[in-house]
Structure 1
Amino acid sequence: MNENPPSLRRLTKRPQFLAAAKGVSLARGAVLIQRLDRADRDPAIGVGFTATRKIGGAVVRNRAKRRLREAAHALLPVHGVAGSDYVLIARQGTADRPWERLLDDVASALTRLAQPGPPDPSRSREAAPISDPPPAQDA
């Protein structure tokens, strides 16, 4: 296999992030990944990162985004689909998750999003945060 991996380009404009939100998304552990197939013929993979104030202050958000950037640079050329845009969204615990587990979360989500068809609905955006226990069953 002599193929060069697709190059990465940063998503910087708000409309690019909003467009990616209309694609498929999948939550795995400490990360939520959104993927949109672009209609153009550019083989580059677009990638953006975001973290909301829900996960913590500026220091925690910046650390979470730095960790997601490193994970994306390591895994997107291998597991990403050329001609797609990805947005990696930090979830609670992204900044403190062990590095190997964070890499597993990102790789698992990228692999599943690369497969044709809709993602597994039981692990979609509506999945409970990783820190919440399952709801109690009323008898």
Structure 2
Amino acid sequence: MTPPLAEEANRTTGASESFAAVSSCASYTILAKRADFLRAAQARRQGTGGFLLQARERGDGRPDIRVGFTCSKKIGNAVMRNRAKRRLREIVRAVLPGLARPGWDYVLVGRPAATISRDFAMLKADLTQALSQIHRPPRPKA
């Protein structure tokens, strides 16, 4: 049996054609080069209960948002590290498009035991709180 055309499926289920707008909201790219991770590690940091967020403004004039994920062997074996990174990728997909700033790099570093065992809703709240702290203007020095 062949699947129905998208138009037929929309008519029969009553779905609107705004699905494309929802699926295209993830407007970030993944960091891959070690140098980018090292530059982010030297910039702003915000710790949370589930992970550490490192962020920096690139200043290169490009408006794209880039994100990286890292989990060390302290997290556990490869299965545990991959699970932690999957959870971090999912909270970024859910939270980052609305709160990230263009021209910034973000790196999420998994924490041993916490990234895997923390409640998913709390991880999302951690990312929301960490982004608001990172983007808060610095306090004037006295």
- The alignment's TM-score, normalised by the length of structure 1, stands at 0.78
- Code of the residue aligned with 2:136 in structure 1: it is Q
Alignment RMSD: 1.7
1:29 correspondence with 2:49: yes
Match of 2:91 in 1: 71
- Code of the residue aligned with 2:93 in structure 1: it is H
Match of 1:105 in 2: 126
Match of 1:115 in 2: 136
The 8 Å contact of residues 63 and 103 in structure 2, kept in 1 or not, is answered as: yes
Point out where structure 1 has 5 or more consecutive residues left out of the alignment. 119-139
| Structure whose alpha-carbon radius of gyration is higher | 2
Deviates more, 1:109-118 or 1:13-22: 109-118
Point out where structure 2 has 5 or more consecutive residues left out of the alignment. 1-23
Please report how far the alpha carbon of residue 17 of structure 1 lies from its aligned counterpart in structure 2 after TM superposition: 0.3
**Matched-pair identity in %:** 43
1:94 correspondence with 2:115: yes
Match of 1:55 in 2: 75
Tell me the distance in 1 between the aligned counterparts of 2:30 and 2:117.
Answer: 24
- Code of the residue aligned with 1:100 in structure 2: it is A
Please report how far the alpha carbon of residue 6 of structure 1 lies from its aligned counterpart in structure 2 after TM superposition: 8.0
Residue 47 of structure 1 aligns to a residue whose secondary structure is: strand
Match of 1:134 in 2: none
Residue 94 of structure 1 aligns to a residue whose secondary structure is: helix
Structure with greater helix share of residues: 2
Tell me the distance in 2 between the aligned counterparts of 1:45 and 1:83.
Answer: 6
* Structure showing greater relative contact order (alpha-carbon pairs closer than 8 Å, 6 or more residues apart): 1
The 8 Å contact of residues 6 and 45 in structure 1, kept in 2 or not, is answered as: no
Tell me the distance in 2 between the aligned counterparts of 1:16 and 1:73.
Answer: 20
The 8 Å contact of residues 80 and 110 in structure 1, kept in 2 or not, is answered as: yes
